[in-house]
Amino acid sequence: MYSYIPLIALLLLPGCGLKQCQNGQHSASIGGSVIADIIENRDAPGREGHPQIFEAIEDRNHDRVARLIASGANLEARGYAQGTPILKAALTHNWTMAEMLLAAGANPMVPDEFGITLPAVAARSRLNPESDEGQALARVRKILVERGLIGLVFPPDQVRAMVAEGRWPPDPQ
């Protein structure tokens, strides 16, 4: 059950109301999650009921993701289709965010319910190598190569079968 205590505390700050504080540091929304730069409950559900880290990734809010990581957000939390935050970042071509999550300890080998993994997305992703996201993709691929994971790209059906048989994840190459 969601606690409204952070919302109430936010509204009691001098100059704050339902929409925006006069000092511009906080904001609140009713009927969803409390979104605040200072008061943030990392475990509160986001707009779609998934952990807030997914919402921050979708919004491409690097600062918020960094705060959630620093506050101990679950990097292996499950969102849409049982995907993890790093997979959400990769599937939305947000490789800068995927790199941040990988550096923070996110497991790149956790598949979603369809059998999609980070190495598979990284191997197939086609971005302009000159762009910021293309450069981040290159760095993610390099990390996966260093960990022996870039070669662990399997068809989704095979990943699901290996999970069902208890043979996932395979050993790095």
- Residue 39: what pLDDT? 45
CATH C-level class of 79-164: mainly alpha
Q: How large is the average pLDDT for residues 7-21? A: 51
pLDDT one-digit tens code per residue, 108-148: 999 999 999 999 999 999 999 999 999 999 999 999 999 99
What is the Cα 55 distance to its own chain's centre?
A: 8
Please count the CA atoms within 13 angstroms of the CA of 36 that sit on its side-chain side. 24
Domain with CATH 1.25.40 in the chain: 79-164
CA 31/CA 88 separation, integer angstroms: 24
Residues in the chain: 173
Tell me the backbone φ, ψ of residue 73, rounded to 5 degrees.
-60, 145
SS3 101: helix
Q: How far is CA 125 from CA 18, 36, 132, 135, 153, in A?
A: 42, 34, 14, 12, 13
Q: Residues 160, 111: contact at Cβ < 8 Å?
A: yes
Cβ-Cβ contacts under 8 Å for 132 (sequence gap 6 or more)? 96
pLDDT over threshold 70, residue 170: yes
120: left (phi over 0), alpha (psi -120 to 50) or beta: alpha
Give 21-44 pLDDT, tens digit per residue. 444 444 444 444 444 444 467 767
- State yes or no: pLDDT of 81 exceeds 70: yes
| Residue of 59 and 12 predicted with greater confidence | 59
Give the model's pLDDT for residue 16: 53
